[in-house]
Structure 1
Amino acid sequence: MEIRGKVHEIGATQQVTESFKKRDLIVAFAENPQFVEYIRFEATQDRVNIFDNLSVGEDIEVSFNLRGRPWTNKDGITTYFNSLVAWRVTKLAGTAAAAPAPGYADMPPVDISASGADDDDLPF
């Protein structure tokens, strides 16, 4: 799977155990510029260095695998966890200059409370 967005935050490498390390990358994904989503990707083991050459604000494409697993607590209640495990990050250099279309950073904030008609309606 792939997704395109802007680098929002690059985490430090965490040594979880002697034999396991991971690192997080937060990507601002703006399919709808009014509602930016902040997606957390993780890289593990020898892939933690794929975030080394990134800078906050860069346009990127992240290739990742979707992982899911159950965990049962001491009371027997099962919870399910999802992870987005990055395995490649590609900088999208030149896309901003070639296509000067407004992005989410260029959009003014929208005041949804000033809709007027019915204040009880949600915007979605």
Structure 2
Amino acid sequence: MSLQLKGKIQQILNPESGVSRAGKEWKKQEFVIETEEQFPKKVCFTLFNDKLSLLEGISEGEDVEVSFNLESREFKGKWYHNINAWKMDKVSGEGVLQEAPPEFRPEDIPPEPAEGPEGDLPF
């Protein structure tokens, strides 16, 4: 299940790390955004391992759009939930910030075909 949510970063928590029972190292970092609805909600997202890099260049107070998955698991009769972020984009007043396309240059125009029978159109 893949979902998206827009909001303002309220808090970026400190990274955590450890070693699983299987001996694998792991890292995680959580951050909280607040939605901009009539009744704003605060949502805490989790980033794991290589996804921690999504927070680079983003600071508290910035508007972002987060793509995430919801996951639930049962342990000893209780259910636990994760909101795992896998993509994050900064948002401007008009929407998600995208990189501008490269500037058009005259040398980008392909050369015209050669004149002659092989260059002529068949009609």
- For the criterion TM > 0.5, the same-fold answer is yes
Find the aligned partners of 1:30 and 1:65 in 2 and give their Cα distance.
Answer: 20
Give the superposed CA RMSD. 1.6
Indicate whether 1:83 and 2:82 are aligned: yes
Structure 2 match to 1:9: 11
Distance 1:65 1:41 in 2: 10
Which protein is richer in helix relative to its size? Answer: 1
What corresponds to 1:112 in structure 2? Answer: none
1:30 Cα shift?
2.7
Residues 61-93 of structure 1 show CA distances to partners (whole Å, capped at 9, x for unaligned) of 000001110011xxxxx0001111000110002
Q: Please give the residue correspondences for 1:19-98 in structure 2 after superposition, counting only pairs within 5 Å.
A: 19-32=25-38, 35-72=39-76, 78-95=77-94
Unaligned runs of 5+ in 1: 73-77, 97-124
In our comparison, the structure showing a higher alpha carbon Rg is 2
Equivalent residues, number: 89
Structure 2: runs of 5 or more not aligned: 96-123
TM-score, length-scaled by structure 1: 0.66
SS at match of 1:12: coil
- Give the TM-score of the pair, scaled to structure 2: 0.67
Deviations 1:14-72 (A, max 9, x none): 1132611100010011321xx32110000001111111211111111000001110011
Contact 1:16 1:22 in 2 (8 A): no
Matches of 1:47 and 1:13 in 2, distance apart?
12
Distance 1:95 1:60 in 2: 12
